[in-house]
Amino acid sequence: MTKARFFRIGTILAIFIIIFFFAKSLTRHYDYPTYQSIIKARSDDWGTYARYALDIKQNGLIIQELKGTSYRAPAGFLYNYFIALLLALFGEKSIPIFVVQHLMLGLSVALIYWTFRDKMSPFLGLLFLSALFIFALKDVYKNYAPLLLSENLALFTLSLFFFCFVRGFDRDVFTLQLLAAVFMGISVLTRPNIVVYEFALIFPVIFYYFKKKKAWFTKSVIFVSVLVLSSSFLLVRNYASSGEMYFLPTHGTSMDYIKTYIPIPPSVDLSRAETNVLYAKLHLKKDVVAYAEYIIQKPVLFFTHYFKKFLYCLGYIPILDPHNGPRGRWMVMWACYFAYLVLRVARRYTMEMWELGVHLFIFCYYAALILGGQIQNYGFRMLIPAVFFVPAFGFIMLDKLWPEAKAKMRMQPRSL
C-alpha cells in the first residue's frame, strides 16, 4: 500500500473520530442539562466560569461583577470568554457548550495526528492515531468533556499551536510561524502555567532566525511581538478595570501560593529560622528562610513531595489521588518517550526546530506543574493539555531509532 493511500485512510479515520465525538455528545447524559442549574448548584470553578461568562454576554468584556478589581481566579481566564461566545451563539444553554467541547476533542485528535504523521511511517501513523483516540476516549471524554473546565479549550488551542508550529518551522513558512505565536498566546490566556513555555520558546526561535540570517532581526521582533501581544488581553482588561497591570491570574504573592500548595509540616522547627544565616546576615524574608530550614531539617520529606508529583505525572495517579487508579497507558507512553530520548542522544542527531519546540513544551509544562502546582486538583485534568503530545515520540522511536539501534547491536562483535 502506498504512502498516499495510508495518509488517505488516516485522514478518513481522523474525520470519523471528529464525527464520533460529536455524535456521542448528542446522546450522552449530562448532570447539568440547563445553564442556570450549573450556576445554582456549583460554587467552585464551574459556577464561577458560568457566572462570569453570563456577565460578559450581558454586560461586555470587562466582567461587570469584577469591575474595579483585577481578575484573580479561576485561572482559565479566556475560558470565560469562550463560554460567553457560545452563549451568544446558542443562547443561555449548557448542552451546546458540552457539544462544542466534544467536537473540539475530536478536532484536537485529528490535528495532532496531522501534525506528527509525517514524522513516522504511514502504518505507525495509523497506530498513533488509534492511541490518540484511546487517550481522548478514556481520559477526556469520560472525565472532562462534560465539565466546565478550561483544559477542554487548552487542548484544542495547543493542538492548533503545534499544527502551525511544526509545519511552519518544517517548511519555513513565516505566516504559519506567526499563527503559532497567536495560538500560543491564546493558550497562555487559557492555562497560565503555559507561560513558562511561552518565554522559554523565545530563545530557540530567535536562534533559528539568526541561523537563517535573512531578515533575522525583523522576524524575531515580529514573532516575539505577536507572541506577547496575543497573550496580553488579561493585562489590558485588568488595567482598564482596576489600573493594575497583572499579566496572569494570581491569588496573591508567589509566597502565598507556595505556602498554600507546599505547606511546611509541623515537625520542622521554624524557630531555627531566626538564627539561619540567610535571615540573620543576609536579611532574606523569614518565609523564604522557613523553606530553607524545611530543606535542611527534612530533606527526605521535602524531596519526596516532588518525587510523588513526578510519579503522578507518569501515570501513577493513586500516589496523590486515591480516588483514581493508575493509568497504564501513560506509563507505557513515558517509557517509550524516555527510550526515545536515550536513543536520540546515543545517535547524536541534530535536533530540528520542530522537535526542540515539542520537547521544550513537554519539559516546561510538567516542570511548572511539579514545582509549583497542585496537580491533583479535579483529578488529573491539569495534565491533559500535555499528555497528547508525548506519545508521538514513542512511535517515532519505533519507526526510526529502534531499527537503527538493533542493526548496530547486530554489527557488534560478540565477546568470547
Residue 212 lies inside a defined structural domain of this protein: yes
Query: What total of structural domains would you count in the chain?
Result: 1
Tell me, yes or no, if the pTM score tops 0.85: yes
Place of cell 510519579: 311
Alpha-carbon torsion (143, 144, 145, 147), positive or negative: positive
Domain that holds residue 56: 3-251+298-409
CA distance 245 to 250: 12
Residue 401 is given by DSSP the state I
Dump pLDDT digits (tens) for 267-297.
888 888 878 877 777 777 777 888 888 888 8
Give the burial string for 191-228 (b: 16+ CB within 10 Å, else e): bbbbbbbbeebeeebbebbeeeeeeeeebbebbbebbb
At a CB cut-off of 8 Å and minimum separation 6, what does 349 contact?
none
Residue 396 domain-assigned (yes or no): yes
Mean pLDDT of 311-328: 92
Residue 78 resides in a domain: yes
- pLDDT tens-digit series, residues 224-248: 999 999 999 999 999 999 888 888 8
Residue 94 C-alpha cell reads as 449548557
Query: Using CA atoms, how far apart are residues 184 and 78, in angstroms rounded to an integer?
Result: 13
Count CB atoms within 10 A of the CB of residue 355. Answer: 19
Q: Is residue 285 part of a domain?
A: no
**198 is a domain residue:** yes
Residue 61 DSSP one-character state: T
In this predicted structure, the answer to whether residue 253 has a pLDDT above a threshold of 70 is no
Residue 185 and residue 227 in contact, taking contact as beta carbons nearer than 8 Å:
yes
Amino acid letter, 367: A
Is 202 within a domain?
yes
Amino acid making up residue 355: E
Residue 278 lies in a domain: no
